[in-house]
A and B are shown apart, each in its own frame.
Chain A
Amino acid sequence: MLETTPISIIRKLNYLVNVVVILFFSFIISSTTTKIFDGFLAREFLERVQYLPIIPQNIAVLAMVYMLALGASNVLKSYLLKKKFFGVKLLLLVDFWLCFMIVYYMNFSYRGIFLLLMMNIITYAKEPHARVWMLIFALISFILLDYDIWSNRLSMLSLTEYVDYNSEEVKIFMLVGKNLLTSINEIGFIGFLYLLLQNKINENAAISSLNTKLRETASELKMANMQLEDFAQTMEENAKMKERNRLAREIHDILGHSLTSITTGLEACVSIIGFEPEVAQKQLGKILDLSRKGLDDVRRSVRELKVDTISKYELIPAVTDMVNDINECTPVKIDMEISGVILKLKEDEEQTVYRIIQESITNAIRHGKASHIDLHIDFYQHIVNVMVTDNGKGSVNVEEGFGLTHIRERIAMLNGTMEYETNPGEGFTIYVGIPIRWGSAYD
């Protein structure tokens, strides 16, 4: 509750000054009255003054009571302001009344109390509109509540008239005291205004520096936003590229495989059609099946592209289908061996393994011109190992084409490994190991 800012200290000091003023005025009035009584000058005093004076002890007591009420009102106002409770404005109006009463009891000879009231208004009236009106009213009161203006209409006796009744020395003491206290009060008010002004200036400086910072931050934010937009554009392009690559892979995988098988099968037919037309005819029938299957594959793939989901099928039957197709339609012989406990794979894993096998066989036939391929699928401790070995041409430098890169990408996606070994005339072997995330045996 106790504030210790310079402004509030000045306000409290001014309050004390006003208390002293009131005590001093009361002292002057009561001591003068005593002097008048001692000199049997009461009747002459009544004749000299033009009005009925207020009773001296009433001046002291009532003015102090009003002064204390003013102090209590201030404490209450601070409390209400802190609690954000209404009633502050009402209390300020009460303050007006208290100040008027104090001025009245000071015989309209002291109006410095209105400076204190102005301090209160500045401190407690937070609403600008009300504050301005109250200040104007307080200022008008300060100007108008002058003894000389009202002495003709009010039954009042100015302090000077009391002072005049004393001896010269006492008179000087009283007048000096009065002027000194009035001046201290005014200086306090000016000090209050100065500090208030200083505070406002500081506040304004702080606000303007904050504003500058805000502007800087805003421009930085704008830059970041632009970068983000650039980044988003890049990301979009990346996504487009990725999708394009996928499409390319899909086309390569399905069409490449089917067309390779068909081409190889047709080559065989061409060589035998002259001497073994029946066998060739049979062969052609199988190639037709193969090409139909390829067409189905294309359709399925297009469908997948559209819905972006993979139809359910199981790995081993699919691989077996593929191997049988090749064995029947082409001169290439594939031996397939499956070992270990067959685990149920997730769809993307099954797809990958299938594609790897498909791609490896395609590569062996297309690039290695192999006539025999060994396919080994091994399930071992949540890892599926695939080994494809052919007896084809082999190669010194393996140029990783689209297919192999594609395999590598897929394996990397599943945290798997891929190795291959090849030498000219010694065929090509590829080892692939893929960890199974969720492996469980088929039901």
Chain B
Amino acid sequence: MIDKSKLGENVKKSVIALIVIALIIISIFFVQGLKSDKKTVIQIGIYSGNEWGVPQIDVYRIYDEAIKLFEKANPDVIVQYRSGTLMEDYSEWLAQKILNGNEPDVFIVLGEDFDTLSSIGMLQPLDTYMKDDSTFHPEDFYKKGIEAGIYDGYQYAMPFQIVPTFMIVNETLLKDNNLTVPEMDWTLEEFLRMCNELTKDTNQDGINDQFGVVGYGWENTYYAAKGTFEAGDKAIEVYDEEKLRKAIEVSKELYTQNSGQIVPPYAFDQGLVGFKTFSLAEFRAYKPYPYKVKKYSDFTWEPLSFPSVDHNTSIGKLYTVQWGMSSRSKNKDLAWEFIKFMSNDDEVQQMVWDYTYTLPTKISVSNKASAQDELLSNVLDSAFLELVIDQSVIEPTFKKYQKLIESMDIRIKVNIMDDKSMQEIIRSVREEADNILESEN
């Protein structure tokens, strides 16, 4: 039987052991506490380059200055980043960091990564931070910019820069061909008619040297027809085949107009193309600088919305640069502060305008800046920008979208070139889409 005095002794011993363990834990916390008096380091992940293909000078300037401001506002924080990562390598670099568990606290999320990183739980949902932060108001930002950071109903990323796309029209060329410059609510029929009239062989050498449009693809028509891409396991669940048919029809007709000729990239710059798809970054990069402007000096041009299927709905693609937070970050509150600082701070947002060719994501800063820009304000007003952005379509947020859209694009182009029937093209695209959607990865 248990010896009572021994039992008492054992209890005493275990109590002493517990106290010792508690003291050790407390001292560890204490040391940790002393440590935390030191500066907190926030790692951020950025890259050079962009998705809209306009070279940027002095990529890191905006980050350096923004970080300086942030560190000034938060004296206990040091923000660090690794420079030299190209956009092409960024996705792999970030993925390796993630697999190693040492990804930055805050990082820019590429459009192609956003779905994957959101769905695997790498990104921290920001909804509670947004809701609890009284200094943050979602309505201050372009609605589409905020929407671009939503996946599966949660806000996983905050916009930093946005780049809307639209069309530009060569007014000189249209006038020379007795065509009236279209209004903002022009339609696809008008667009196709004008393209048809513009496409011609002016020097009679048997080859077309004047074209209707450059850079316009089937997806532009699909979006214009209010087509969407939804997550799903089968092609018919993912896209609307009727709208795709319409999109392919348009592409086919444009291809026929060009007699299968591919419009050379320099043709618009030479004043030989009536319409061109265009991103704001391109617009800002080429318009203000003399040597770029010179290229367009023999003709005048105007921004224009995409042609719509019916009036009032012009839909273009919207590029965004988004900040995401690692769900494993040890300094989430500070990470949120940094994200908010980049998106919400007027000075930083002004830097977006000043140091990049993109648009600030905060409406007030964007409007003020564009109004103050002498050259830009002549051709591009804030009302146009807001209209274009509001009518933009954000890339769908399911995982296989990137792969799907690329494969569909190739399949459609190849089939049009092979002069396949609409029926055949639709079936071929559906097969390809089904394969991708059904595959494991």
Give me the interface of A with B, judged by CB distance under 8 Å: 33, 36-37, 40, 42-43, 45-58, 83-85, 87, 155
Contact = CB atoms under 8 A, between A and B. Distances in A.
Contacts of A36: 99
Given A42-B92, A43-B92, A155-B121, A48 B441 contact: yes
Nearest to B402: A47
A56 B327 CA distance: 17
A392 B44 CA distance: 148
Nearest to A40: B92
Interface in B1-30: 2, 6-7, 10, 14
A47 B98 contact: no
Nearest to B14: A87
B99 A84 contact: no
Contacts of B441: 47-48
A56 B10 contact: no
B415 interface: no
A40 B99 CA distance: 12
B407 interface: no
B99 A53 contact: yes
A40 B6 CA distance: 64
CB-CB nearest 5 A-B residue pairs: A55-B101, A42-B95, A43-B95, A42-B96, A52-B120
B243 interface: no
A33 to B, nearest CB: 6
Given A42-B98, A58-B101, A52 B92 contact: no
A50 B101 contact: no
A258 B122 CA distance: 131
Given A40-B92, A42-B92, A43-B91, A33 B99 contact: yes
A27 B260 CA distance: 56
Contacts of A53: 99
A155 B327 CA distance: 13
Contact of B10 (A49, A50, A83): A83
Q: Which of A40, A46, A51, A87 has the most CB of B within 10 A?
A: A46
A56 B101 CA distance: 8
Q: Which of B116, B121, B327 has the most CB of A within 10 A?
A: B116
A83 B14 CA distance: 13
12 contacts: A36-B99, A42-B95, A43-B92, A43-B94, A46-B98, A47-B116, A51-B120, A52-B121, A55-B99, A56-B100, A57-B101, A87-B14
Given A45-B99, A46-B117, A51-B121, 6 more contacts: A47-B399, A49-B120, A50-B119, A53-B99, A54-B101, A85-B10
A42 B99 contact: yes
B101 A46 contact: no
A51 B327 CA distance: 13
Contacts of B99: 33, 36-37, 42, 45-46, 53, 55-56
Contact of B98 (A52, A57, A58, A83): A52
Contacts of B98: 42, 46, 52
Contacts of A52: 98, 120-122, 327
A64 B96 CA distance: 24
Given A43-B95, A47-B399, A85-B10, A55 B100 contact: yes
Q: Which of A33, A47, A51, A55 has the most CB of B within 10 A?
A: A47
A49 B440 CA distance: 9
A332 to B, nearest CB: 82
Contacts, number: 57
Contacts of A155: 120-121
A84 to B, nearest CB: 5
Contacts of B122: 52
A49 B2 CA distance: 56
A48 B400 CA distance: 11
A87 B119 CA distance: 44
Nearest to B120: A52
A42 B14 CA distance: 49
B68 to A, nearest CB: 32
A37 B120 contact: no
A422 B91 CA distance: 144
A47 B327 CA distance: 18
A310 B121 CA distance: 112
Nearest to A58: B101
Nearest to B98: A46
Contacts of A51: 120-121
Contacts of B116: 46-47
A62 B160 CA distance: 38
Contacts of A84: 2
A39 B280 CA distance: 37
A54 B101 CA distance: 8
B438 to A, nearest CB: 15
A85 B11 CA distance: 9
A288 B294 CA distance: 183
Contacts of B121: 51-52, 155
Interface string B83-97: 000000001101110
Q: Which of B99, B100, B116, B399 has the most CB of A within 10 A?
A: B99
A105 to B, nearest CB: 13
Interface in B292-318: none
B14 to A, nearest CB: 8
Contacts of B399: 47
Interface in B91-130: 91-92, 94-96, 98-101, 113, 116-117, 119-122
A200 to B, nearest CB: 26
Contacts of B327: 52
A150 to B, nearest CB: 15
Contacts of B7: 85
Contacts of A87: 14
A251 to B, nearest CB: 64
A56 B96 CA distance: 12
Interface in B203-261: none
Nearest to A51: B120
A116 B327 CA distance: 34
Contacts of A40: 92
Contacts of B2: 84
Contacts of B92: 40, 42-43
A6 B92 CA distance: 53
A277 B92 CA distance: 164
B101 A37 contact: no
Contacts of B6: 83
Nearest to B93: A42
Contacts of B100: 33, 55-56
Contacts of A85: 7, 10
A48 B122 CA distance: 15
A103 to B, nearest CB: 20
A76 to B, nearest CB: 11
Nearest to A43: B95
A370 B66 CA distance: 157
A53 B103 CA distance: 13
B340 to A, nearest CB: 24
A57 B121 CA distance: 20
A55 B14 CA distance: 36
Given A37-B99, A52-B98, A46 B10 contact: no
A2 B399 CA distance: 56
A37 to B, nearest CB: 5
